[in-house]
Amino acid sequence: MAWKGIILFLFIFSVSAEAKEFRISKITDLDAPWGSTFVSSKELLITEKSGKIKLINLNTGNNSEVNHNLKILEDGQGGLLDILYKDNIVYVSYSEDHGKFKSTTSIARANLDKGELKFDNIFVAQPPINSGYHFGSRLAVKDEFLFASVGERGQGMIAQDPTQHPGSIIRIKLDGSIPKDNPKFIDKKDWLPEIFQIGVRNPQGLTISPFDKKVYASNHGAKGGDWFGEIKKGENYGWKILGWGGTNYSGTKIGPKWMPGYTKAIKYWVPSIATSAITIYKGNEFKEWNGQALVTSLKDMSLRKLDFSDTKNVREKIIFQNQIGRIRDIQVHPVNGKIYFLSKDGLWLMEKN
């Protein structure tokens, strides 16, 4: 019918018009970058999975390598992972080599030095495991606390064992000491002191909202069941009792999407999009997005915007897809609100036309 043709035309025109509202350009080439952090309004520190730390000048695109002393085991999904700068301190998460092919998701800190970073560990996930899978691992700072996501290393039900770190969200102080109001000291006597929440699988997104100050994460399911949700003290996201709508790669069932007694995510994806880094947008460049979640993906190679102001009616929109490849990280410029991405081969800038 004629009216259907009119609706289709208007939809195509709307998508085309929105696509022209912004442009994406490459700033510099990189080799499998993983994490990024602003150290000034014109400089980013970036990690490469192989173990290099690069300092990028955003005005020129020039990058220089920063020396460091980390003992990294690049194995499968492991390597040098996230990086975060706060008050002249640089924090990193990485797969630490423990010999005999064993490694941990570890966190270290160093005073900022653009020539050489001398790191000391402030957290080491226990136990070391012989696996190249599911390290996590994102970092986020809220007040005096450092949050970090620790993957379950492909070990499944270890995420339900709070006497071991894999499969959890941890919270420590910025110097590595233990907060006295962590779950262990309140009502979870059998939990390790650093653990804040359990039951996650491979959480590669973690952020603090500048609006409600809550902690949000994204997490990989297995074959389906990725999610975006709030991190809640002393609670359990249910892996591997829950499957979040996904199945094992063999096709066998894992468990229900959700059931009472477990944290319910805000948004699930089935089939999987391979959720990666996330942020809650705040800025002037795309001010109409303020307060909404930006979710990047690997497999789906997309940037998605979530309006979750009503968690019972989450509105999702794909901003772009298949333009820069697998998206590993996202950062919002602290001054102008322009958006920076890491893909498999470089650093990209998204800004309005």
Q: Exposed, middle or buried, 68 (CB in 10 Å: 0-12/13-18/19+)?
A: buried
For residue 177, the model assigns a pLDDT of 98
Which residues constitute the domain of residue 69?
Answer: 25-352
CA 130, 136, 139, 143 dihedral sign is negative
pLDDT at 7 over 50: no
For residue 184, give the CATH number of its domain.
2.120.10.30
Task: Sheet with 267-269: list strands edge to edge.
Answer: 202-208, 215-220, 226-230, 267-269
pLDDT (average), residues 306-318: 97
Q: For 74-83, how does the pLDDT look when each residue is reduced to its tens digit (9 = 90+)?
A: 999 999 999 9
For residue 19, the model assigns a pLDDT of 53
The tokens of 262 are what?
């477990």
% of residues, the chain, pLDDT over 90: 92
Query: Smallest Cα–Cα separation from 273: which of 308, 321, 217, 342?
Result: 321
In a domain, 15, yes or no: no
- Read off φ and ψ for residue 233, nearest 5 degrees: -55, 125
Contact 194, 178 (CB under 8 A): yes
pLDDT at 9 over 70: no
Report cis status (omega within 30 of 0) of the bond before 166: no
The tokens of 233 are what?
């003290």
Based on the structure, what is the number of domains in the chain? 1
In a domain, 249, yes or no: yes
In a domain, 3, yes or no: no
Helix (H, G, I), strand (E, B) or coil at 236: strand
In angstroms, the Cα distances linking 187 to 190, 263, 324 are 9, 17, 46
In a domain, 104, yes or no: yes
